[in-house]
Structure 1
Amino acid sequence: MTDNVSGTFADKVVVVTGAASGIGKATALKFLSQGASVVWSDQDEDTLKDAMAGAPEDRSVACIVDQSQASEAARSIETALERFGRLDVLVNNAGTTVLGTILDNSVEDWHRVVAVNIDGALFSSKAALPHLIKSGGCIVNTASVSGTGGDWNTTLYNVSKGAVVNMTRALALAHGPDGVRVNAICPSVTHTGMTDGMMDNKEYLDKLVSAIPLRRIGQPEDMASAIVFLASDAAGFISGAILPVDGGITAGNGQPPFPS
């Protein structure tokens, strides 16, 4: 990647969690392309190192943390301050899932999903907010269409992403008067490492694509573009928004087409 510090986010500092792959990696690269300095936060050191290959070293720093732990989540924020001297954007993107109903899932499954998807976003936001208030910055959360409507066979993920949706709204209300905007994107199924198994299931994939009006699967770059927009000055009067980035799948009410 050619280093170019001009762009929409020149002189801005961004923390992206879950940055080693998928939506997080695409988002970190998108911010870099717009001139930002980026803290790439993830717990997978080897994958993160590969993801950062070619990124401008003067505007990129790795932070190996477990976002589900409050002290470690705070370290991502501290890294931004120590390396770049400020914080302008926090992208809470780290996430995990487990399939099944609550009858299938264990208590340990529940604790893991909550720890990553809810605790991680909450802890990072708490650590970041004093600095975002100072800079007039913003938070963008990666929620999901699974947080705005129910899915079959993924109860724990639905519950956790519903919490992220309402966390977004609550933080937007609480900290709008402080000058901090808080928004979320809600992807539908996106082709990332977490969904590779789904992509290999042709029967499922065909059903999924047929339900999406745009007739294709979301890509990490689709989500990154929406995140960067919500963090930009172009979205300066948008806060508390829960933005579907789903190819139109949530435009329907679930009923099949009426017979012609």
Structure 2
Amino acid sequence: MGLEVAVFALQRSIDAHPVPEGVIAFAVDAADDKSVKEGLSALTAQWDSVDILVFLVGFMSVPPSTIEEMPIEEWDAIAAGNLRSAFMVSAATLPLLKRGKEPNIVMVGSSLAYNPISGESAYAAAKAGLVALTKSLAIENAPKIRANLVAPSAIETSFLAGGGGERGIKALNSGGDEWFRKMSDAYVPTIPMRRIAQPEDIVGPILFLAGPTASFITGQVIHVNGGRVTP
């Protein structure tokens, strides 16, 4: 699958992970409507259509906060970062997708939408909303545009150690690796495949859903969790 790729990411993420040669990057905050529109405007100046939108955005509570403990500001921030952002990005990209070749959307959600854990209610609720948003996109835009979702469990990345967001960055910089080791020791025995997912475990399902062999698949969820969650 030969592709031209554009990446929307926070500036700090672009700085920390430079994109490969040939990939164009735009500094965009997916939770900010103005930033999303400016990013799409810059992209439209270079491209007149989009074939594939892969939406992989989000952060969670680190440390975990129960519903009783969680400040409403934290709930709002997590909901905006995980769900509102998906609405804004997909809505803004639809005009470009409609001009694309066999266009489709692949959302990346979470198994927590189906199997929440204590302290992550906002994240789980937002990811459950992302499932419904994906199905709505599929219904509203068929047969021209497909929309599906990959729901992974924990993946061994810096996000897992830090949770993303400003609080997550602070957590990662002050012992996130130790937290990951403790979490891994407790979590791995609950996974039938007996390991944490690696990024490449998620890439395959994304490419499958984005490609021509999935041309009759829309509004669906692929679960990639080593058998831990079987909805």
TM range (shorter): 0.7 to 0.9
**RMSD of aligned C-alpha atoms?**
1.8
Question: Which residue of structure 2 aligns with residue 72 of structure 1?
Answer: 35
Tell me the distance in 2 between the aligned counterparts of 1:50 and 1:233: 33
Kindly state the Cα deviation for residue 248 of structure 1 after the two structures are TM-superposed: 1.0
Structure 2 stretches of 5 or more lacking a match?
163-175
Runs of 4+ with deviation above 4 angstroms: none
Deviations 1:101-155 (A, max 9, x none): 1112111101111111111110000011122122131111111001122222211
Matches within 5 A, 1:117-136: 117-135=82-100, 136=102
Deviations 1:203-245 (A, max 9, x none): 4312211111111101122112221211111111111111111
Matches within 5 A, 1:128-167: 128-135=93-100, 136-167=102-133
Question: Which residue of structure 1 aligns with residue 18 of structure 2?
Answer: 52
Matches within 5 A, 1:237-248: 237-248=216-227
Structure 1 stretches of 5 or more lacking a match?
1-7, 9-34, 254-260
Whether contact under 8 Å (2:112, 2:127) holds in the other structure is yes
Question: Which residue of structure 2 aligns with residue 40 of structure 1?
Answer: 7
Tell me the distance in 2 between the aligned counterparts of 1:224 and 1:162: 21
Please, what TM-score do these two structures have when normalized by structure 2? Answer: 0.86
Q: 2:55 aligns with which of 92, 109, 118?
A: 92
Question: Which residue of structure 1 aligns with residue 74 of structure 2?
Answer: 109
Q: 1:223 aligns with which of 202, 206, 224?
A: 202
Whether contact under 8 Å (2:48, 2:99) holds in the other structure is no
Tell me the distance in 1 between the aligned counterparts of 2:222 and 2:35: 28
Kindly state the Cα deviation for residue 173 of structure 1 after the two structures are TM-superposed: 0.8
Matches within 5 A, 1:169-180: 169-177=135-143, 179-180=144-145
Deviations 1:182-209 (A, max 9, x none): 0011010111112125763444312211
Deviations 1:67-126 (A, max 9, x none): 111222233333332223321111111101112211121111011111111111100000
Question: Which residue of structure 2 aligns with residue 200 of structure 1?
Answer: 178
